[in-house]
Amino acid sequence: MSQPPSSSRPARYAVVGGGISGLTAAYRLSQLRPTATVEVFEGSARLGGVLHTNRAEDLLIERGADSFFNKLPWAADLCDELGLAEELIPTNKGERRAFVLRAGKLVPVPEGFVVIRANAVGPILKTPLLSWRGKLRLLGERWVPRAQDIDTADYDESVASFATRRLGRETFERLVQPLLAGIYTADPAKLSLAATMPEVIEDERKYGSLHQASLAAPAGPDAQASGARYARFVTLRRGLQQLVDKLSSQLAPDSLHLQTPIRGLHRDDDGSWLLIGSDGKQYGPFAGIIICLPAPRAAELVAESHPELEGLLQKIPYASSAVVSLAFSRDQITQGVAGFGFVVPTVENRKIVAASFSSQKFPGRAPVDQHLIRIFLGGAKQPEVLLLPDDQLCELARTEISAILNIQGEPSQVDLVRWQEKMPQYHLGHPQLVAAIENLVEKLPALELAGNAYHGVGIPQCVHSGNLAAQRLVATSPR
């Protein structure tokens, strides 16, 4: 029988989920309540979630995210706090550009075009990615009228609708859609603009067009970016696993419960929480709990005790993807490799979403005589690709990249990872759905949610989510 929490004993907290959000939450709890016991429950055999660095011979392979956006301060601040600031490295300066596949050829993203904005006229006029009709339509964005209801407080539309309305269908299909697929693995016809790029709604609301908003914005490092704001991205010298390992090292080894999936939770009459493992074993009592799982898994935990919350969490859909990393010697790639990678428009009808040239993007990822390339497959638009067995999935990636880059021969190294339902899809209505979830959670004492399902999918947002959840829990739970 569980023992109730006592004011004479230190508080005991539980974090369910050992990804970056969960590890940050656990670390922050331990800092805010140094005398408390903080335990992490992770269903798999490793910590870090989709942050996973694999060392294979002389290669450093990131199996998930390979960097983070440091304009948002939270991940960089955490690295600084943990003594990792000197380990942060930027992208290679000489290669900061991306390409788009068109008719089987790689074409640079026009200089100054960043995701959904064209910050320079000259490169748009010169690019072979768009027809003259498409170029004129894009450059005419400044004269497109504002949406009639743009001033409503909860205005939203799909990213596809916004980009097509303001930039034209050709620019959407040839530039915006593939660039967004590389970030969200999403269907832009369902993707919420308010949830993913609220700043462009504000720009249309305030200035009437993205062009006028760009003129009003001060010049900065993003102005001449190509595809993504690569000057703002950083990583850790030995891979993002460094952050995972450093965070976990701050917690007591016996507080990290690996291969311990949790299937439910229960609140005792005295206000404490119990966790119920998949084998029926109970853990606790805990003064507070932070759930840092994908929304459908979080829903399973609260299904019995809070069915209304379960229903809302189940409404956040997820997409799956796979990453195949291939290493080739440089003399196998006859046309050369430039930039940080390329994205593939859906209208190209290829079986890959994007490819990242890891050995070009950051130093120390491969020996100087090799190229390390990460190929992304699946996502919301091509889920059927992930039905292939591992060997066929790897062969598909090899065939596609070899055709595009004119690669001769077989790779010297192959690494495959599948991320099953790991990318939340911020569909239309997502901000309102999250607000409803958070309103319910506020009424549940000593229970918090954190993770990439709510306010951003990037590493900085996950860190911020874990920090805030820990702060809220400490503020509302007994010492």
- Give the per-residue pLDDT at 61: 98
- 279 within some domain: yes
Residue 6 has pLDDT above 70, yes or no: no
339 and 400, same domain (yes or no): yes
Show which of 166, 195, 221 is a domain's final residue.
Answer: 221
- Give the per-residue pLDDT at 479: 62
- Give the per-residue pLDDT at 477: 73
Q: Which residues pair with 376 in a beta bridge?
A: 323, 354
Residue 4 has pLDDT above 60, yes or no: no
- 357 within some domain: yes
Q: How many helices (H) and strands (E) does the chain have?
A: 17, 22
Q: Give the number of domains in the chain.
A: 3
**pLDDT 10s digits, 90-115:** 999 888 889 999 999 999 999 989 88
CB atoms within 10 A of CB 372: 27
- Give the per-residue pLDDT at 408: 94
- Give the per-residue pLDDT at 413: 96
Instruction: Share the mean pLDDT of the chain.
Output: 93
166 and 204, same domain (yes or no): yes
Backbone angles phi, psi at 69, to 5 degrees: -85, 110
Q: How confident is the model at residue 227 (pLDDT cuts 50, 70, 90)?
A: very low
**Among 165-169, 221-225, 325-329, 370-374, whose mean pLDDT is lowest?**
221-225
**pLDDT 10s digits, 42-75:** 999 999 999 999 998 899 999 999 999 989 999 9
Show which of 170, 187, 221 is a domain's final residue.
Answer: 221
CATH number at residue 33: 3.50.50.60
Residue 2 has pLDDT above 70, yes or no: no
Strand ranges in 379-478 using DSSP code E only, listed in sequence order: 413-424, 447-449
130 and 173, same domain (yes or no): yes
322 and 310, same domain (yes or no): no
- 295 within some domain: yes
Amino acid occupying residue 379: G
469 and 328, same domain (yes or no): no
393 and 442, same domain (yes or no): no
Where helices occur in 223-379 by DSSP H, the ranges are 241-249, 295-302, 307-313, 358-361
- 58 within some domain: no
Q: How far apart are CA 308 and CA 273, in angstroms?
A: 19
345 and 393, same domain (yes or no): yes
- 82 within some domain: no
Residue 471 has pLDDT above 90, yes or no: yes
**pLDDT 10s digits, 333-352:** 987 788 999 999 999 999 99
* Bridge-based pairing state of the strands 233-236 and 68-69: antiparallel
- 263 within some domain: yes
CATH number at residue 164: 1.10.3110.10
Query: What pTM does this model have?
Result: 0.93
Question: How many Cα atoms within 13 Å fall on the side-chain side of residue 469?
Answer: 32
Domain extent, residue 36, equals 12-49+239-316+427-476
Q: How far apart are CA 297 and CA 432, in angstroms?
A: 20
118 and 210, same domain (yes or no): yes
CA angle 130, 113, 375 (to 5 degrees): 85
445 and 300, same domain (yes or no): yes
276 and 138, same domain (yes or no): no
- Give the per-residue pLDDT at 219: 58
- 296 within some domain: yes
- Give the per-residue pLDDT at 228: 56
- 117 within some domain: yes
Q: How confident is the model at residue 175 (pLDDT cuts 50, 70, 90)?
A: very high
- Give the per-residue pLDDT at 8: 55
CATH number at residue 405: 3.90.660.20
405 and 432, same domain (yes or no): no
145 and 267, same domain (yes or no): no
